[in-house]
Each structure stands twice: as structure tokens, then as C-alpha cells.
A and B are shown apart, each in its own frame.
Chain A
Amino acid sequence: MEQLASALVYMVIGVSVCAFYFYGSNFLLDKLFPTKNRAVTIVARNLRITTRIRPWLFLGPAIIFLTFYLFYPVVDSIILSFYGRAGKEFVGLSNYSWLFSNDEFLESFRNNMMWLVVVPTSATFLGLVIASMTDRIWWGNIAKTLIFMPMAISFVGASVIWKFIYDYQSAGNTQIGLLNAIVVFFGGEPQNWISMPFWNNFFLMVILIWIQTGFAMVILSAALRGIPDETIEAAVLDGANGIQIFFKIMVPQIWGTIAVVWTTITILVLKVFDIVLAMTNGQWNTQVLANQMFTWMFRGGGDFGRGAVIALVIMVLVTPIMIWNIRRANQEMEGR
């Protein structure tokens, strides 16, 4: 209750400060360089000045925040990666050599790659299929709402829900877990899904797919609606069947959007942390890079050097995809 109240207070304060800043700074600028009731030359000059300053006023807070919360941490991580656990003594490249001989790192790297292949593919594919199918049925919008809903659940919240789905009770007991209840109903043996090495990775991935399919569906559904009807009509007249229309007419036209959705999810997957932390904390061979970084950085007294090295690996993996993603998005924009 106390937390709720203070969160509410901070929210109100935060929003008002923002509103005050934008409104106030804008007002001040107009006051300093008035553009009304003055000589034409002054008005022209003031207009020039205000149009030059105004964007910076509005961009200012974002730039400052990005510098402090993005640029500075990146630089600091790079520096820390050459230092020891307390971030004080210089250790050269030893953190890096430790990393690449560390079994746990190789395990989390392998797991991350699996996540990388499975989650964006499945989420995008499912999103695309659902988007095109729900466009044709009368209860499509209801279905879409239901599928989109997991997007609103935090990762930890989703993990708690799925913990109940994967819950394991030994044979002979009432199965609280949905999945085991179904297995037992059909006469199977209950399984401890979470501690089943290798496959448990996929059970965790399902959670993220569940969350992200809604995102893919919404974006792709909008893209599908943007396809000119004439192209589809022409295909129908030429005698193409449904599957041919979907793969040869529709998909090529929204290829750009698919790529953006795909890469956006890819970036998210590279940073996957909450789900693994809440479900297994990396036990049973489910470790991923972000959780390993957190573990080294903050657990058991913390080790800033090694934590920073893992953080840099994640950054190096994310950056090219992100650049490509932004380029792609820009091209899309120009096309409009």
C-alpha cells in the first residue's frame, strides 16, 4: 500500500515536471524572442532564432538522458572490463581470457543462440499467420485482443503464470500444473518440465513467444491491410489459390515489415533476462548471457570486471542487428 501510494505520487510529480518543462521552456522562448507586435525585421530575426533553438529545447532532455543512461554506461562498461572485481585494479585482458574459457559462458552463449533462432522465427511466423487469418473471420478482433493481451503482462508476471502451467507434482498426486494435468489425463507420466536439460530451454522460450506473438500480429496485420486490393484481385483472376496468394502476393509486399518485426524481437531475445531469472535462474543448464551478467555483476559480492565483459558481449551481438533494424525502419518511412 505504501509503495503504491509513493509510486502514484512519483508518477504525478514526474508527469507534471515534464509538462511544466516543455510548456514553460516554450513559453520562455516566445517571451524572450517575441514574434508579435514588433517590427518586421525583428520578427524575421526572432523567428529564425526560435526555430533554431526550439528543437534543442525539445530534444534536450532526451539527449541528456541518453548521455547519462546510455552513452556513459557503455563507456564505463568498456573501461570496467579491463579492471578487477572491485573496478579498481587494472587487469588487462584477463577478464576476456577468463570469459572464453568459462564453461558457463559457452553454455549461455549456446542457449542464447537457440533463443535467437527459435523465438523470433516462431513469434513472427505465428503473428503473420494469425494476422492474415483473423482478417477473414467475424470474431477476428476478439481473437486478436486475446492474443495481444500477454503483451501487457510483464515478463516476471508471465513467468509466474507459466510456472503454474509447468508445475510438477509427483505421480499419484493432484497435478496443479496445467501441462501435467493434461498429460496425466491422457494417461501419461507427469514430467518435471523445468529441470529437463536441453528441452527446458524450449519451455522457457514458449513464454516469450506467447508474449511476442501479439506484437508481431498487430504490426503485420496493419501491414497486410496496407496491401493494395488490386494486386490480390489480379491474382484471384489469374487463378491463384489461397496459399499462393499468401506466399507469392502478400508476403513479398510486406517483406520489409516482417524484417523489422523479426529484428525487433531478435534484439529483445538477445537481452532476455527476466524469464530465465524468474523460472530457473539459469539452473538446469538454462543460463543465458543477460542472467549470467547479472549474476557476476551483483551476486555474491559482485565482480564488476567480469560482469562488464559479458555485458559487452551482449552489446556487440545486439549492435549490428540494431543498426540494420534502424536503417530498415528508415527506408520503410521514406517509402511512405
Chain B
Amino acid sequence: MKKSLLAAALALSFSAHSVFAQDLIFPPGKDTRFNWSSYDALKSEHLQGKKITVFGPWTGDEKTRFENVIAYFEAATGADVVYDGSDSFEQQIVIDTQGGSAPNVSIFPQPGLASDLAAKGYLTPLSEKAKEGVLKDYAAGKSWVKLATFKGPHHKDHFYGVFYRADLKSLVWYSPDNFADAGYQVPKTMEQLKALTKQIVADGGTPWCIGLGSGAATGWPATDWVEDLLLRMQPPSVYDGWVTNKVKFNDPRIVDAIKEFGWFARNNKFVYGGTSAVGTTDFRDSPKGLFTSPPQCYMVKQASFVTAFFPKDVEVGVDADFFYFPPFASKKDLGRPVEGAGTLATITKDSKGAHDFVNFLRSPIAHEIWMAQGGFLSPDLKANPAVYSNDIERREGKILLDATTFRFDASDLMPGRIGAGAFWTGMVNYINGEPAKDVANDIQKTWDALKKN
């Protein structure tokens, strides 16, 4: 008994990844919407039997989809790519790099963290060719290159990573049926959005579902609110200054943006469950209120990836739709700003295979395979929007490609201790009743202490 169990265990552990590695979900060459030429080009790289380890934040469904993409790289080059995903990527990657057991390729959700590790010398810069490729192929290529350029261990700027998969933050999700039943119109300005919020309360409903809960990352959804509102209240230069702390966190302009978020979230009538529920409600659970009958709430402001957490029977595009988080009519000169985010593929352990794999991740086919599976937005101009799995994502992709002012999620750019620490805690405390000014002072204090180091 024991022997056979051990044999089975051994067989399982050795066979598990090779079983589903070779199945290509879209047969190469068949569907002409894909850029098969970029797949065929891969075949010139020979990596037979070379092992490439990849570590990223995607688990569950997203892991499966990414592994489907990886399968194409394996089929073309013969390499053996092992992907591992973790919910606590941010902590794990720090431990792995400093402990000397880094994977070949790491996919960072926060460029700020990548920049930290780059300064410590744990990242390998990419080639000039890769940099030019991004400049040329990506929409607003300059800004994507700038976002992936960090100071290395010798205080010199290098280009460190390729953005693979973007998220669009400035979206408000709603149920078209509920809006139609109640006779509400999609608001075109922030003033209309606020009026609609009050209108829903007057009609006896609850306008918003807001959840800040996210395990160890609790608080981050509130940072998106503040960032999006700041982009609509102040010129982008203030936003940029805020990211680098040239504009202090307790600057009145920032405090105003926090208070503006409070207008929505710190009003018991505006949020489902009242303000006290906001802090502990999981952000993954918050959209569910849109689809109950009667609806628990009418709107959820969340990034494009939130559709993954909609109930199974909800058809995106029919039962759920989004509108662009609108700008203030009173601040016309600020245009239509868009806030987004993205995951950055970098090399944490140098090898030829690692470079080839990162190059693969900026090729159109790597984008298209995931786009076609759903839940993926691409800033790559060469990736064909026709392969998006649904209209919603195609429309989101268009917003991304057409953005006049595109800004990356500020909390992901700030030093890790702020953007993935003090800012979160501050937002949790703000929701719990602390004044905006105090919260901002606390965060600035942490930032000051950080600079002394």
C-alpha cells in the first residue's frame, strides 16, 4: 500500500506539468485573426530542454490562461517553462531574490517594487532591442518605457521590463437592466454622477457597493478612488509630483481628493451596508450586490479585471456593463484622464531563455492568445483587437489605446512601504473615521522616515 502510494505520488509530481503543456488552445495557422508570423519567428530560437522558471501573481483561472500562452513558447522553442503563481507575490519575490533562489522571470504587479529590487541589483536590464520594440509597438510606448526604467545598483538608468497585460482602472460597473428599470441615465460628468448618487438615495436605493478588503492588501481599492479623483481635480503634473513626493502627501490638493472619496464612501446612505462595512467587505464580493434582486447597489467602481469576480451566470455585456468614471464638467481643461495599471515582466535570474521568454511576452501572439481567452487588455498596437473575447474588452482596449492622459496607478509607483503599506493603512483608517488631514499627515510622516534611510 505504502509503496504504491509513493509511486503514485512520484508519478504525479513528475508528470503534472508536462501533461497540459503541449495542448495549444488555438491551433497555429488556423484562425487568421492571430499574428501567426510572430509565432513562427519564435521557432528560430532553440531552447530544447532548457528550463525557464517564471513567477507571477496569477493563480487559478488566470494561471491556466497564462499557461495556455506559455504552451506556444514551449511548442516553438522546445523550452520547459514552469510557471508558479502566488497571492503573496510581493512578499515572496523579495524573499526569493534576496535568498538567492530567484526565478528566471518575475512578473511584477507593482513597478515600484520592481524598482526597489532593481536598485538592490536583483534585476537584469533588458536589451536595447527590447526597449526599442516597446517604444515602437506599444501605444504611448514612451510612457511604458519610462515606467519600466529604473535606477540600477550603480545609480544608472536601465530599461528593466516589458509590460504584459494592462488593467483599466477608471471604470464604473453597473447593471443596464437595473438602470433601465429605474430610469437612470449613464452620467457623462462627475456632477451628474453625484446627482445620480443622490437621486438613487432619494428613490430609496443604495447607489454604491465599495469593498476595501483584500487580505494582506486590504485598503488598495480606496487608493484607486483617490488617484482617479485626483486626476480629475488637478493637472497631471500634480499627480506626477505626488508619486515622487515632490507634492507632499498632506498637500491640501491631495487631502481634497481624499475628502472627495469620502463624499462617496463616508456617507452611510451612499454605500451598501453603511461606511462600517466598507473596510471589511472583500473587493471581490462587492460587485455581487449589482446582480441581486432587488439590487443591493447600482454602481461599483473597479478596474477592468473585476469581471472575473462577477457571479457565474452574469453575462458581461448583457447583464453587466461599464461606463467611464467621468470628469468634472467644471474642469474641462483636464480632458478625459485614464488611470491604469499593468504587470511587468522582468528578469530576476539571467539566462538566454529568460531573455527569449520576455521577448516573447512583448510579441503580438503572446498578447492575442490571452486576449482571446478573456480578461486581458493589451497596449500592444500590433495585437489585433479583433481577437478580444468580447465587446466590453474591445471597448476597454480602445479607451486604453486612445487615452489623452494616461497615468499609471500611483500607489504601484510609490515606494513599496507607502504605496503597498502606509497608503492602504491610511485609507482603512480614513474609512474608520479618522480625519483626512490626519491620515495624510501620517502617510507623509512614514514617507519622511523612509527618506532618511
Q: Which residues of A contact B (CB under 8 A)?
A: 1-2, 4-6, 8-9, 12, 84-86, 91, 94, 98, 102-103, 168-170, 173, 192, 194-195, 197, 277, 280-284, 294-296, 298-306
Contacts and interface: CB of A to CB of B under 8 A. Distances in A.
Interface of B: 5-6, 8-10, 12-13, 16-17, 90-91, 94-95, 98, 112-113, 116-117, 119-120, 215-216, 218-219, 272-274, 276-277, 279-280, 415-421, 424-425, 428-429, 432, 442, 445, 449, 452-453
Contacts, number: 116
Given A98-B452, A300-B421, A5 B274 contact: no
Given A283-B428, A284-B428, A192 B415 contact: no
B117 A301 contact: yes
Contacts of A12: 6
A289 to B, nearest CB: 16
- Of A4, A98, A192, A303, most buried by chain B (CB within 10 Å of CB) is A192
B453 A85 contact: yes
B417 A299 contact: yes
Contact of B453 (A84, A194, A283): A84
A57 B146 CA distance: 59
A86 B97 CA distance: 12
A9 B417 contact: no
Nearest to A296: B417
A299 B452 CA distance: 18
Given A281-B218, A283-B428, A300 B280 contact: no
Contact of A300 (B272, B274, B419, B442): B419
18 contacts: A2-B17, A5-B16, A6-B9, A6-B13, A98-B453, A170-B274, A192-B279, A195-B280, A195-B432, A280-B218, A281-B215, A283-B219, A283-B425, A295-B421, A299-B417, A300-B90, A300-B416, A300-B418
A151 B175 CA distance: 47
A303 B98 CA distance: 11
A301 B12 contact: no
B276 A192 contact: yes
B216 A281 contact: yes
Given A168-B277, A168-B280, A86 B120 contact: yes
Contact of A2 (B13, B117, B120, B417): B13
A288 to B, nearest CB: 14
Given A8-B9, A283-B219, A299 B272 contact: no
B113 A300 contact: yes
Chain A at the B interface: SS class = helix
Given A85-B453, A300-B112, A301-B112, 9 more contacts: A5-B9, A5-B12, A94-B452, A168-B276, A192-B276, A195-B276, A195-B432, A277-B216, A298-B91
Nearest to A170: B273
Contacts of B12: 1-2, 5
A9 B280 contact: no
A170 B277 contact: yes
Given A12-B6, A283-B428, A300-B417, A1 B452 contact: no
Given A1-B16, A102-B449, A168-B277, A8 B90 contact: no
Contacts of B418: 300
Contact of A303 (B274, B279, B453): B453
B409 to A, nearest CB: 15
A258 to B, nearest CB: 37
Contacts of B216: 277, 281
A1 to B, nearest CB: 7
Contacts of B119: 86
A194 B280 contact: yes
Nearest to A95: B453
Given A9-B10, A9-B13, A284-B428, A301 B116 contact: yes
A280 B213 CA distance: 10
A283 B425 CA distance: 6
B53 to A, nearest CB: 15
A28 to B, nearest CB: 27
Nearest to B117: A301
Contacts of A299: 90-91, 94, 416-417, 420-421
A300 B415 contact: yes
Nearest to B428: A283
Nearest to A2: B16
Contacts of A294: 91
Contacts of B419: 300
A301 B417 contact: yes
